[in-house]
Amino acid sequence: MSATFGTPLAAVLLAVELLLFEWKPRSLIPVALASATAAAARRYLLGLGPLFPAPAHPLFVGPTGLLGCVVAGLLAGALSSLLTQAVYAAEDGFAKLKIHWMWWPALGGLVVGAGGLVFPQALGVGYDTIGALLQGDVPQRVILGVLLVKSLIWAVSLGSGTSGGVLAPLLMMGGALGGLEALVLPPLGAGFWPLVSMGAILGGTMRSPLTGIVFAVELTHDLNVALPLLVACTLAHAFTVLVMRRSILTEKISRRGYHLSREYAVDPLEILFVREVMHKSVAVLPAAAHVGELVPVHDRGQRGQHLFPVLEDGGVVGVVSRGALAEMQNDPACRARRLGEVAAPTVVTAHPDEPLRAVVHRMAETGHTRLPVVSRGPARTLLGLVSLEDLLKARARNLEAERRLERVHPMHLFFPPRAAGEEDEARAS
The residue ranges of every structural domain in the chain are 50-255, 269-393
Between 415 and 140, where is the model more confident? 140
Q: How far apart are CA 192 and CA 80, in angstroms?
A: 19
Q: Is the pLDDT of residue 175 over 70?
A: yes
Strand partners, 307: 321
Query: Which pLDDT does position 224 carry in this prediction?
Result: 92
Q: Which residue has the higher pLDDT, 283 or 226?
A: 226
The pTM assigned to this predicted structure is 0.71
Q: What percent of the chain has pLDDT over 70?
A: 90
For residues 107-130, give the mean pLDDT. Answer: 89
Q: CA distances (Å), 3 to each of 10, 124, 216, 275, 413, in order?
A: 11, 20, 15, 52, 39
Flag whether pLDDT at 180 surpasses 50. Answer: yes
Q: Is the pLDDT of residue 414 over 70?
A: no
Region for residue 152 given its phi and psi (left: phi exceeds 0; alpha: psi -120 to 50; beta: otherwise): alpha
CATH architecture assigned to 269-393: Roll (3.10)
Closest CA to 7 of 215, 154, 175: 215
Q: Determine contact, residues 275/306, Cβ cutoff 8 Å.
A: no
pLDDT at 425 over 50: no
The structural architecture, per CATH, of the domain 50-255 is Orthogonal Bundle (1.10)
Q: State residue 404's pLDDT score.
A: 73
pLDDT at 265 over 60: yes
Q: What integer pLDDT is reported at residue 236 of this predicted model?
A: 96
pLDDT at 308 over 70: yes
In whole angstroms, give the CA distance from residue 149 to residue 168.
Answer: 15
What are residue 382's phi and psi, to 5 degrees?
A: -75, 130
Measure the CA–CA gap between 84 and 78, rounded to whole angstroms.
Answer: 10
- Digit-coded pLDDT (tens) for 328-382: 878 887 877 888 888 888 778 899 999 988 999 999 998 888 999 999 888 888 9
Three-state DSSP class for residue 126: coil
Describe the chain by its helix, strand, coil percentages, rounded to 5. Answer: 60, 10, 30
Residue 9 pLDDT grade (very low, low, confident, very high; cuts 50, 70, 90): very high
What CA–CA distance (Å, rounded) separates 375 from 131? 67
Task: Give the range with max mean pLDDT: 10-24, 36-50, 337-351, 399-413.
Answer: 36-50
d(CA 83, CA 67): 24
Q: What is the mean pLDDT of the chain?
A: 84
Q: Which of 11-15, 298-302, 397-401 has the lowest mean pLDDT?
A: 298-302
Q: Is the pLDDT of residue 423 over 50?
A: no
Judged against a pLDDT cut of 90, whether residue 396 lies above it is answered with no
pLDDT bracket for residue 297 (50, 70, 90): low
Burial class (CB in 10 A: 0-12, 13-18, 19+), 335: middle
**pLDDT tens for each residue of 59-86:** 889 999 999 999 999 999 999 999 989 9
Provide the pLDDT for residue 75.
96
How many angstroms separate the CA atoms of 76 and 82, rounded? 10
**Beta carbons of 149 and 79 less than 8 angstroms apart:** no
Taking CA 311 as the corner, what is the angle to CA 364 and CA 319, rounded to the nearest 5 degrees? 30
Give the pLDDT confidence score for residue 245 in this predicted structure.
79
Alpha-carbon torsion (80, 84, 90, 96), positive or negative: negative
Which pLDDT score, from 0 to 100, does residue 200 have? 96
The answer to whether the beta carbons of residues 291 and 328 sit under 8 Å apart is yes
Buried b (16+ CB within 10 A) or exposed e, 134-148: bebebeeebbebbbb
Q: How far apart (Å, rounded) are the C-alpha atoms in residues 363 and 348?
A: 9
Residue type, 401: A
DSSP 389-403: HHHHHHHHHHHHHHH
Q: If you average pLDDT over residues 196-200, what whole number do you get?
A: 95
| Residues of the chain above pLDDT 90, percent | 36
Amino acid at 245: R
DSSP state of 280: -
Backbone phi, then psi, for 386, in 5-degree steps?
-130, 135
pLDDT band, very low/low/confident/very high, at 138 (cuts 50, 70, 90): confident
Q: What is the DSSP string of 147-189?
A: IIIIHHHHHHHHHTT----SHHHHHHHHHHHHHHHTTTS---S
Is pLDDT above 80 for 300? Answer: no
Among 18-22, 227-231, 281-285, 338-342, the range with the most confident prediction by mean pLDDT is 227-231
Q: How far apart are CA 113 and CA 327, in angstroms?
A: 80
**For residue 153, pLDDT beyond 80:** yes
Average pLDDT over every residue of 258-269: 69
Dihedral sign computed on CA atoms, order 34, 35, 40, 44: positive
Q: What per-residue confidence (pLDDT) applies to 428?
A: 42
